[in-house]
Amino acid sequence: MVSPATDAGRQALRTTLRARRRALTGPEQQRAAQALAARAAATRWFRVSRRIALYLPNDGEIDPQPLLDRIQASNKRGYLPILSRLKHDRLWFAPYGGAGPLRLNRFGIPEPVVPARQWVRAQDLDLILMPLVAFDNRGNRLGMGGGFYDKSLAFLRARACWRKPHLIGLAHDFQCVPQLDPFPWDVPLQAVVTDQCVYNF
């Protein structure tokens, strides 16, 4: 077995877990999404946050759409990530209420079509609900390998503590692994919410 501490091990883990989540049926994904929404909405982070970023599911990722519905029904505002076309592949976040035009970015992921003046930085958000491929019980996250979230959240590594944004991963429970060895630039999560559990770190 290849260690997840190596590049080859990380890629093997990505391949395995991505295939497993893509293999879920539509009803299985819907049940997982509803269970996830109930658990996430009950957390203190969600209750006290007003500006919340999430994502549109891709590649079998657990679907946060029921959470977006809860955001719309409350005094909160939802945002989706936009891959900056300007420099350094940083993420910006555009307001999204579940309607309105979308266009595909260079990875084939839909993004809201809104004027750039409405985009906000990660620093302006209260809560970021992040997709992931794998996580461990120390809050380490394995993403798709592009490093977009880590680059966009690099400012947090310079702070001993911070008030916002809170960083919460969303995943299927089977995406929890025994251990991930982080790189120096990785930004740890404060919690992960799955369809079965809330992991606090």
Tens of pLDDT along the chain (201 residues) come to 345 557 778 889 999 999 999 999 999 999 999 999 999 999 999 999 999 999 999 999 999 999 999 998 988 999 999 986 655 667 999 999 877 889 988 888 889 999 989 999 999 999 999 999 999 999 999 988 777 888 888 888 766 665 689 999 999 999 999 999 888 888 889 999 999 999 999
- Whether residue 159 lies inside any domain: the answer is yes
Order of all β-strands in the sheet with 127-130 = 91-95, 77-83, 51-53, 127-130, 166-171, 191-194, 198-200
**Using CA atoms, how far apart are residues 191 and 201, in angstroms rounded to an integer?**
6
User: Which residue is listed with tokens 């009950």?
Assistant: 42
Q: What is the pLDDT of residue 171?
A: 97
Number of domains in the chain: 1
State the number of CA atoms in the 13 A half-sphere of 96 facing the CB: 26
Q: What is the pTM of this model?
A: 0.89
- Whether residue 120 lies inside any domain: the answer is yes
- Whether residue 2 lies inside any domain: the answer is no
Q: What is the pLDDT of residue 84?
A: 67
- Whether residue 1 lies inside any domain: the answer is no
- Number of Cβ within 10 Å of residue 162's Cβ equals 13
- Whether residue 75 lies inside any domain: the answer is yes
The residue range of the domain holding 70 is 7-200
Q: What is the pLDDT of residue 1?
A: 38
For 88-111, give one letter per residue: b (16+ CB within 10 A) or e.
Answer: eebbbbbbbeeeeeeeeeeeebeb
Parallel, antiparallel, or unpaired for β 77-83 and 91-95?
antiparallel
Q: What is the pLDDT of residue 5?
A: 58
- Whether residue 184 lies inside any domain: the answer is yes
User: Which residue is listed with tokens 């994904």?
Assistant: 29
CATH assignment at residue 162: 3.40.50.10420
Q: What is the pLDDT of residue 83?
A: 84
Q: Please tell me what DSSP assigns to residue 163.
A: S
Q: What is the pLDDT of residue 149?
A: 86
